[in-house]
Structure 1
């Protein structure tokens, strides 16, 4: 947002969230059960805050960019979407730290949304994907409350447009605001709107595409073996090869070998 935002004061105690510092990013040393319990217990207090879904790419980017590192550490937590993050955490003594992916978190929250009365707003992706996502969610989770959806323009938004979408989101009174803009854009958007948007913002990257059926997730055995990145690389080699080569090698050297 263009307006100067006051410093946000977390409504819950971040110190109670176990973290493992990896390349300067405080990655939540948690598993899915812990995370779901935490969100269910604190969802109303978390309104206006955000969660980063962190992987090797975002962590290495944060290591090299101090401003993005502040964004990663500025929300309520950064969860270990990438298997290598949880593996490093376990080697550093956080035995209960396990991979908590964005798409999996979405699915777990969707499963309990009707009984909990949760309301969802989806910000990001394309109109076509949002339409598919709406149809899939309505069919898969009958009774789920989809408060709203919005596909922002690819160009920078004006201050007036930004204020209008924030007002539109807040009018729907969502519990969860799922942000699918891709990294690092989605994390920067959430940080810029911290304390302005009602509802807990969670940046889930390709989570919209997974649940809409545009992208298939890797087989369970590949997910458990930290090989989902290989499956994604095979799906989109032109876009992902350079990224993986750059970030994976730096992560191995700095986090795994040097212990940063």
Structure 2
């Protein structure tokens, strides 16, 4: 088994929730600084349109397969041990292990309201989680002084893991651009995970997630915001697979 499989130029990890968690444990034990991405179909599609973005994603220490279509392609390419490893599931997995490791968690993303709901939900569901801090950034460009203030607050918190919920590709660029100025060892870009864990947005039923239909559930939940990502994006993904993977693989 390989450690990664290249899908449309992106080196996606052959991993599971447990293996990714074990990787984070090793990074923290060894003092290794890392940022990790979670790559759904939309990330792979966006990486075809921008070499810069593809470089940002591939610059991550670990790229997790966030979506069954990504897993299916990996299985087709000879990596049957890959399992779906998405941001919301991984966040829940790590929070549920809080009593065993004592990691300090910092949350960056969302709105002030969603941040407060998230923190309360965590305190209620996982009372042993050590919350180092949380920041809800403004929905506008952040100036240099304001940006440095965010960095200073995160660094002063002594956090072990920084969870970034800005959505892709924004969060991936943010992690790549800030990792050298942050002292927190591990940074995880988990997209809409904050809203799912907080209960602000509904999660797709498990059977839909296992069968690769989560995109349809989310599209029905937020059609105006997500139609382009899923209708156009999924079509582009199939096109790229046929032209860049199927013919080459064959």
TM-score (norm 2): 0.93
* CA deviation vs aligned residue, 1:134-178 (integer Å, no higher than 9, x gap): 100000001211100001112211111111111110111111100
Q: Separation in 1 of the partners of 2:79 and 2:243?
A: 18
SS in 2 for 1:248: helix
Of 209, 215, 220, the residue aligned with 2:206 is 220
The alpha carbon displacement at 1:75 in A equals 1.2
Residues 114 and 145 of structure 1 are in contact (CA less than 8 Å); yes or no, is this contact kept in structure 2?
no
1:49-68 equivalent positions in 2, closer than 5 A: 49-68=34-53
C-alpha distance 154-48 of structure 1, shift in aligned 2 (>3 A) = farther
Aligned length: 245
Q: Separation in 2 of the partners of 1:211 and 1:84?
A: 23
C-alpha distance 45-160 of structure 1, shift in aligned 2 (>3 A) = farther
The alpha carbon displacement at 1:46 in A equals 6.1
The equivalent of 2:66 in structure 1 is: 81
Q: Separation in 1 of the partners of 2:80 and 2:28?
A: 26
Q: Separation in 2 of the partners of 1:171 and 1:206?
A: 26
C-alpha distance 34-163 of structure 1, shift in aligned 2 (>3 A) = same
C-alpha distance 47-165 of structure 1, shift in aligned 2 (>3 A) = farther
Q: Separation in 1 of the partners of 2:127 and 2:225?
A: 36
The equivalent of 1:103 in structure 2 is: 88
The alignment status of 1:244 with 2:230, answered yes or no, reads yes
Contiguous gaps of at least 5 residues in structure 1? 1-15
Q: Separation in 2 of the partners of 1:192 and 1:49?
A: 13
Of 196, 200, 218, the residue aligned with 1:210 is 196
Residues 51 and 78 of structure 1 are in contact (CA less than 8 Å); yes or no, is this contact kept in structure 2?
yes
Q: Separation in 2 of the partners of 1:217 and 1:46?
A: 34
Q: Separation in 2 of the partners of 1:56 and 1:257?
A: 16
The alpha carbon displacement at 1:199 in A equals 2.9
The alignment status of 1:92 with 2:98, answered yes or no, reads no
Q: Separation in 2 of the partners of 1:107 and 1:59?
A: 24
SS in 1 for 2:180: coil
The equivalent of 1:11 in structure 2 is: none
Q: Separation in 2 of the partners of 1:64 and 1:212?
A: 33
The equivalent of 2:221 in structure 1 is: 235
Q: Separation in 2 of the partners of 1:95 and 1:250?
A: 24
Contiguous gaps of at least 5 residues in structure 2? none
1:127-206 equivalent positions in 2, closer than 5 A: 127-197=112-182, 198-206=184-192
Residues 48 and 54 of structure 2 are in contact (CA less than 8 Å); yes or no, is this contact kept in structure 1?
yes
Q: Separation in 1 of the partners of 2:122 and 2:103?
A: 13
Q: Separation in 1 of the partners of 2:90 and 2:118?
A: 16
